[in-house]
Amino acid sequence: MSKPSAWLTQIQRQHQQELQETAILIREWAEQAMTDAVFIALFHGTAVDGKPLGFERAKRIAKEIFQVYHDQVATGITGAPDADVFRAQVDKLLRAKMPEEIFVPWEERYRNWESLTVEEEAARYGAVWRKEGRPKCIK
């Protein structure tokens, strides 16, 4: 089998870089859209004590929301090792406070989600895919 050309390798590398940049941009846009929605709901909604919140209280609540998002939820949607542990933790936390009749598992909440077994992950990503140690979301 012949070695791929340098030109083809460069094109593939550029394409991979563009895909990564697009993924980062989409994530940034999603986070900004979530930020906008949270502040609009807190400033103009009536969900908290029946009235809109002032800026300082809204900022504290929003900060906590985004901390939870970054520390627990966001890792579950990545291809990170042990992301399945984060997804299970998110479901556990939601199930603990949410009535069972309205709780929807991760795989159903996230359209087109593909759950892999440990063996399927190893086959797809290699035997060293999972690292030792506990993720930071599990205390």
Nearest partner of 68 among 54, 89, 83, 49, judged by Cα: 89
Question: Is residue 60 domain-shared with residue 46, that is, in the same domain?
Answer: no
Q: Are 58 and 42 in contact (CB under 8 A)?
A: yes
pLDDT for 136: 37
Question: Is residue 135 domain-shared with residue 87, that is, in the same domain?
Answer: yes
> What is the tally of structural domains in the chain?
2
The residue range of the domain holding 110 is 54-139
Question: Is residue 46 domain-shared with residue 67, that is, in the same domain?
Answer: no
pLDDT, one tens digit per residue, over 31-83 is: 888 888 888 888 887 777 777 888 888 888 888 988 888 888 888 887 677 88
Report pTM: 0.60
Distance CA 41, CA 61 (A): 11
Give the lowest-confidence range in 57-71, 102-116, 124-138: 124-138
Question: Is residue 79 domain-shared with residue 95, that is, in the same domain?
Answer: yes
Question: Is residue 95 domain-shared with residue 123, that is, in the same domain?
Answer: yes
Three-state DSSP at 103 gives coil
CA dihedral 41→53→46→32, nearest 10 degrees, is: 10
How confident is the prediction for the chain on average, in pLDDT?
Answer: 79
